[in-house]
Amino acid sequence: MNSSKDHILSKIKSIQREVKPLPEIPGFDIDADLKSLFIQSIKLNKGEVISREEFKGLLAAQTFLKVYSRVEGFLTYSNMDLPEDPHHLSELNLAIVKGRFGVAENGAIWFEDEDLGHRALPFITEHLVVVLDSKDLVANMHLVYNRIGQDRSGFGLFIAGPSKTADIEQSLVIGAHGAKSLRVVLE
Amino acid sequence: MSENNIHVALFLPCYVDQFYPKVGIATLQLLEKLGCEVTYPMDQTCCGQPMSNAGYERDTLGTTRHFINIFKNYDFIVAPTGSCVLHIKDHSPQVPGLEKEQQELHHKIFELTEFLVDVLKVNSIKGVYPHKVGYHSSCHGQRGLRLSSSSELNEKPFSKAKQLLENLDGLEWVELDRSDECCGFGGTFAVTEEALSVQMGKDRLADHIIHDVEIMAGGDMSCLMHMEGIARRNGTPIQFKHIAEILNEAMS
Amino acid sequence: MSHPEQAEEFLKDKANAKWHDETLWFVRDKRDAVSKTVPEWEELRELASKIKDDVLSKLEIYLVDFETNALANGIQVHWAKDAEEHNQIVLGILEKKKCKAIVKSKSILTEECHLNPFLEKNGIEVVDTDLGERIVQFLNQPPSHIVLPAIHLKKGQISDIFHEKLHTEKGNDDPYYLTQAARIHLREKFLKAGVALTGVNFGVAETGEFVVCTNEGNADMGVHLADVHIASMGIEKIIPKREHLGVFLRLLARSATGQSITNYNSHFRSPAPGKEIHIILVDNGRTEQLAREKFRSSLKCIRCGACMNTCPIYRRSGGFSYGSTVPGPIGSILSPGMDLKKHSSLPFASTLCGSCSDVCPVKINIHEQLYEWRQEITKAQSSLNAKSISMKIANGIFSVPFAYNVGGNMMRGALKFLPDSLTYSNLNTWGKERDLPEVPKESFKDWYKKNQK
């Protein structure tokens, strides 16, 4: 037995406490246009919601040397395979991944291991494009956890915008350590 | 006085008795104008708040027992202070043998604006007061007694003081940049953290000055004493009045 | 130095103090505005508070559940009763992995345990990877705020230190430029690191997973590239169920910075193939605080920092004035429990205005606990120095005019009931920058006697 574990647990047990019940969590669902709310949230997070046409326009206008896509219907944009070692993604310019759910109230998009290939992918890439089905939008965090349920993915992730910081005099800078941009292709 | 009048015991903070008798007089006259019969129990003393906030609540047992004995037989106890009322309700020690009286007292004691709005149900006061007024809500009144909404909470904005003042003819209620920032008085804090206390007072004063406030009003003279002290020292031309003084003047 | 001395020092640079106050007020304002866009905000605070109450009432059960589930998921679980043991566990893992350098993301717990100096003494290079933390690490300073670690610094100072450490252009203080320099510098560190350490925002008992929230993505850059992830977690960070994350994630970022959610919210349930996750459950005084009934609920804190941003004292005295790992109102109720003697002036560094309690997303009655600590500190005065600062503070009540015998009659009645151990002191302090009120000709009592009907 781990003696520190026993020590801590027995110390806690020795403390007289009144048992407090757990509250029920309501869904707090709202009657709103989830799509427009989601678009607005992503914008506030300094991301951008675009159409597939606009995405094509982006690729035409901007050069992404290394592109890796894991999304059905977007696979042709890939010009590399997933390397075995995520360190080899360090030169990646664009990653295209599929989001499972989008949360309208804050723009958060849910991913699991399968969606990412490597957990490092959406962070190490210079730019990130997420493909999301608008039928996978939910109003808020309570409802998205209901949808996620008890999925057994080893890693789960909400991304809500591009990497950012305000650590220098509270000036917002986009592109700290992770992806410098987030674009959501909402279909 | 008719027998139907509400009988009120007036409780004055000790520093109001000594430094601001005009606030005590205004409170008494205002309550009488609104139909109350007012008594000022002469043996009242400091409620013990300075002691308790300094960490000596246990030493205020005598003060508290005295307070209960002085006021226990009145229907209502009204005071022109949020701070001392909050102290009586929240921070006076349990007095053995007077548990029932103490409990009852906590339901009978009211800050002035609270008493006018919640007990006397005064919706608005008719009178004339042609001045630009800024209101400094004391934190103990505001967040302690909930005399007005707190900017941190997601609640419907309200203010008992504003409700009483805003219908006076000519009174212009000034909205401040920081609606409910502390002035930095804080009792002991005013001297133990002198530098901070003065800076907070200066900042609070500045918020009123940039909005061209003519009179800074409030429900607690302790906050006003602190800011008036700073204003006087710096020759800042702004007046300070307790809300009781304004209402009493406006009704005359 | 005590809090009053530190605060006075901070306020000497008037322009900087004003900037600090206004910048944090701006964050507070954003928090106020965003919280009002959520109609159920107050209900969420109530739910969060109740969930945390439940956690504290059954902490031993949830900790065991958490461990069982985490082990089943392939996470290695360690228990540390204090900072020393925590640090030894980290060092042990590093030695086993023959690792001489780690990348760290923001963890207040490791600050509390003084992990960095410990590891450095043992020959390990520690790189803090949150931008603000890296800045203060370059300057050899602790963070001055738990969410905004470098809020005490101006961009000119950051430009200077970056010029020295990262060879950026001298005098270039553009935040974007400086951030990009840090990005390049830290990317190199991320790519080389074998072990990454993070803090934990929430540990979920029913799943054995834990959640880490950042805006920069530094925690994830570190752990997903390294072979080993060490997560340091205070035992009070447990929540019962995954669905409770919905409540806390709605509150956390809105309270902290006014964002609707942090950018990256990573749920670690099991290690990626071939990798390791270690979680260290740390007590370090938490069980003692749990045993103090009046102060128990301080353990509900989710470290959002909102009480700092709203506190009129914190804004005008800076994080360093508190001299404790967690500064501000919440720090002033946690720190005396860790070291009463050292932190005895902190509960007095407050006007008891109550803003901290109203802003708190888990409804900790912070200002009430400050009041209660004052009572404890005066009781412990025999063990503290009688001339200690907190005693001077406690006894300072008699230098406030309303408690002073200016008029000759003042408090005569009350005095009968006050302890005589306390002595009057003069009014010099009050009068430094404030006039005294004019003493009227007669007191109210005098007037009343004459005019009584």
Q: What is the pLDDT of residue C392?
A: 53
Q: What is the pLDDT of residue A2?
A: 67
d(CA A181, CA A93): 11
Structural contact between residues B28 and B247, judged by C-beta atoms closer than 8 angstroms: no
Q: What is the pLDDT of residue B114?
A: 97
Question: How many CA atoms, within 13 angstroms, populate the side-chain half-sphere of residue B61?
Answer: 8
Across the 252 residues of chain B, what is the mean pLDDT of every consecutive 10-residue run? 76 90 97 96 86 86 90 96 96 94 97 97 91 97 97 97 95 96 92 93 98 98 96 95 98 86
Local structure of residue B56 (DSSP, 8 states): I
Interface contact B130, partner C, CB < 8 A: no
List the single residue in C394, C414, C446 with the smallest CB-CB distance to B63: C414
pLDDT in tens, C45-68: 999 999 999 999 999 999 999 999
List the single residue in B150, B193, B230 with the smallest CB-CB distance to C349: B193
How many helical (H) and strand (E) elements, i.e. helices and strands, does chain B have?
13, 8
Structural contact between residues C339 and C373, judged by C-beta atoms closer than 8 angstroms: no
List the single residue in C355, C377, C409 with the smallest CB-CB distance to B152: C355
Residue carrying structure tokens 């509150």: C251
Quick one: closest CA in A to C173, which residue? A168
Structural contact between residues B8 and B31, judged by C-beta atoms closer than 8 angstroms: yes
Q: Give the other-Cβ count within 10 Å of C424's Cβ.
A: 12
- In one letter, which amino acid is C233? M
Interface of B with C in 6-45 (CB under 8 A): 12-22, 24-25, 28, 40, 42-45
Instruction: Find all residues with CB under 8 Å of B210, minimum gap 6, and list them.
Output: B177
d(CA C250, CA C254): 7
Interface contact C212, partner A, CB < 8 A: no
Nearest-CA distance A110 → chain C (Å) = 9
B to A contact (≥3 Cβ pairs closer than 8 Å): no
Chain A residues lying within 8 Å of C191, measured CB to CB: 87, 90
Say whether B194 and C11 touch across the interface (CB within 8 A). no
Chain B residues lying within 8 Å of C17, measured CB to CB: 199
Collect the ranges in chain C with pLDDT lower than 50.
386-387, 390-391, 394, 396-399, 402-426
Q: Which of B78, B122, B82 is nearest to B251 (CA)?
A: B122
pLDDT in tens, B118-165: 999 998 789 999 999 999 999 999 999 999 999 999 999 999 999 999
Q: What is the pLDDT of residue A151?
A: 75
pLDDT in tens, A9-66: 999 999 999 998 999 999 898 889 999 999 999 999 999 999 999 999 999 898 999 9
Residues composing chain A:
187
Q: What is the pLDDT of residue C37?
A: 96
- How large a percentage of chain A has pLDDT more than 90? 91
Tell me the DSSP string of A85-146.
SGGGGTT--EEEEE-SEEETTT--EEEEHHHHSSTTHHHHSSEEEEEE-GGGEESSHHHHHH
Q: What is the pLDDT of residue C408?
A: 37
C125 SS3 class? strand
d(CA C191, CA C222): 8
Q: What kind and span of H or E run contains A9?
A: helix A3-13
Q: What is the pLDDT of residue C453?
A: 63
List the single residue in C434, C448, C452 with the smallest CB-CB distance to B226: C434
Interface contact B80, partner C, CB < 8 A: no
Q: What is the pLDDT of residue C432?
A: 86
